[in-house]
Amino acid sequence: MKIGKLITSGVAVIGFSMTMAITTTSIAEAASSVVDEGKSIAFNKKKGNCLACHRIEGGRMAGDIAPPILMMKMRYPNKEVLRAQIWDATASNPDTVMPPFGRHHILSESEVDKVTEFIYGL
């Protein structure tokens, strides 16, 4: 009886930690795939084409129209503000040459989310 209880709870503990482990990896995997997707959207000439203007680590033949994308967490502690810049850069600067990716439907909502995740980690 006692042993049985112990074993069961032991299994429960093992079971619990296994689920934990699985959940943690899948969140990490999902996160890294979102970042990867964000990166390929950002670099794709027909999508974000951010390299036309910005230097970004890992990207080749970048332009030099805009500031390099660096230390985004420092510059944008609030991720929403960063997303807003990508969604519609003209909101903070009407004269900017940065295309309003969300407002002009150059990228979809979820594409803007993914690019934000990628950029935020730089």
Partner 1 sequence: MKTRKLNVLIGWGAAVLMMGSVAVEASPERDLKAFQTYFVEKFPLTKYSDFNNGVYSIDESFRQQWESIEEFPPYESFMEMGEEEWNKAFANGAGYASCFGEDVSAIRGFYPHWDSKREQVVTLEGEINRCRKDNGEKPLKWKVGTLAYLSAYIAYEGRGQKVDVVIPDDPKAVAAYEEGKRFYYAKRGQLNLACADCHVYQAGQHIRADLLSPSLGHTTGFPVFRAKWSGKSKSGDGMGTLHRRLGGCNKQVRAKPFKPQSEEYRNLEYFLSYMGNGMEWNGPSYRK
With CB under 6 A as the contact rule, the residue among 8, 93, 108, 110 that binds ligand HEC is: 93
Q: Residue 75, interface with ligand HEC (CB under 6 A)?
A: yes
30's CB contacts (< 8 A; 6+ apart) are none
Per CB under 6 A, contacts with ligand HEC among 47-66 are 48-50, 52-54, 65-66
Least Å distance between CB 60 and ligand HEC? 15
CB 108 within 8 A of CB 44: no
67's CB contacts (< 8 A; 6+ apart) are 54
Binding region for partner 1 (CB under 8 A): 49, 51-53, 61-65, 90, 97, 99-100, 104-106
Say how many CA atoms lie within 13 Å of 59 toward its Cβ: 29
The residue to which tokens 């503000």 are assigned: 81
Q: Which residues contact ligand HEC (rule: CB under 6 A)?
A: 42, 48-50, 52-54, 65-67, 69, 75, 82, 85-86, 89, 93, 96-99, 101, 115, 119
